[in-house]
Amino acid sequence: ETGVTQTPRHLVMGMTNKKSLKCEQHLGHNAMYWYKQSAKKPLELMFVYSLEERVENNSVPSRFSPECPNSSHLFLHLHTLQPEDSALYLCASSQDEGGWDGYTFGSGTRLTVV
Amino acid sequence: QQQVKQSPQSLIVQKGGISIINCAYENTAFDYFPWYQQFPGKGPALLIAIRPDVSEKKEGRFTISFNKSAKQFSLHIMDSQPGDSATYFCAASLKSGYSTLTFGKGTMLLVSP
């Protein structure tokens, strides 16, 4: 375990479903991130939270909705997704916003939209 | 954000050989350059990082070479082992102010026994 736990590991959902991805870290980090990883593409930053406040939203469609109730937990709420949203969704945390000590990634949730 | 271009997309190296992965960046303000290693079914993990005040950083078999004038940096894996088989990502960001990492597309390395 890296210190960042993501659940579920795999998720298959229909385009009309609503589901949530969960991320948890107990590293005492102050920043948390959602990344999307698709084949043959760079890791795409979706959302950044620093001290529980959203500091960056990279023009992500509104069908993705993040929530950070406290510094240890991060959620990604999903609704009315499209097949092209199928990807590996990675959560990461870092001590500070800049991540100079490195990001700690979870193992990801493999999402398939059918 | 500015792009980070990574090559090659995939690489096959014999056991004991040297693996070399290259990255180029555009934003001259970038001043933090980490490399991440990702095994199948796992998230990326920080491998080694460099700042532009040095031209080289070595940690065990892994070395980053940095060429500021060319805006390029590379990862060298000496005495490559089958256990090094993974996907490697370079990244870059700004040290000052607020910045998140910009990642390259990744290189899939296979070290043959």
Determine whether the interchain pair A98/B43 forms a contact, defined as Cβ–Cβ distance below 8 Å: no
Q: Which residues contact B22 (CB under 8 A, 6 or more apart)?
A: B6, B7, B8, B72, B73, B74
pLDDT in tens, A49-74: 987 777 777 789 999 999 999 989 99
Average pLDDT, chain A: 90
**A62 exposure class (CB count in 10 Å sphere: 0-12, 13-18, 19+):** exposed
Regions in chain B scoring below 70 on pLDDT:
1-2, 95-99
Q: Quick one: pLDDT band at residue A90, thresholds 50, 70, 90? A: very high
With the C-alpha atoms ordered A46, A51, A53, A56, is the resulting torsion angle positive or negative?
Answer: negative
pLDDT at A108 over 60: yes
Question: How many C-beta neighbours within 10 Å does residue B3 have?
Answer: 15
Mutate to test the interface with A, among B10, B23, B101, B105 (most CBs of A within 10 A): B101
Task: Tell me the CB-side half-sphere exposure of residue B29, using CA atoms within 13 A.
Answer: 10
Residue B39 is predicted with a pLDDT of: 95
Q: Are B94 and B32 in contact (CB under 8 A)?
A: yes
Distances (CA, A) of A82 to A30, A37, A86, B83: 32, 16, 8, 37
Return residues 13-42 of B near A (CB < 8 Å): 32, 34, 36, 41-42
Chain B: residue nearest A103 by CA? B46
Determine whether the interchain pair B44/A99 forms a contact, defined as Cβ–Cβ distance below 8 Å: no
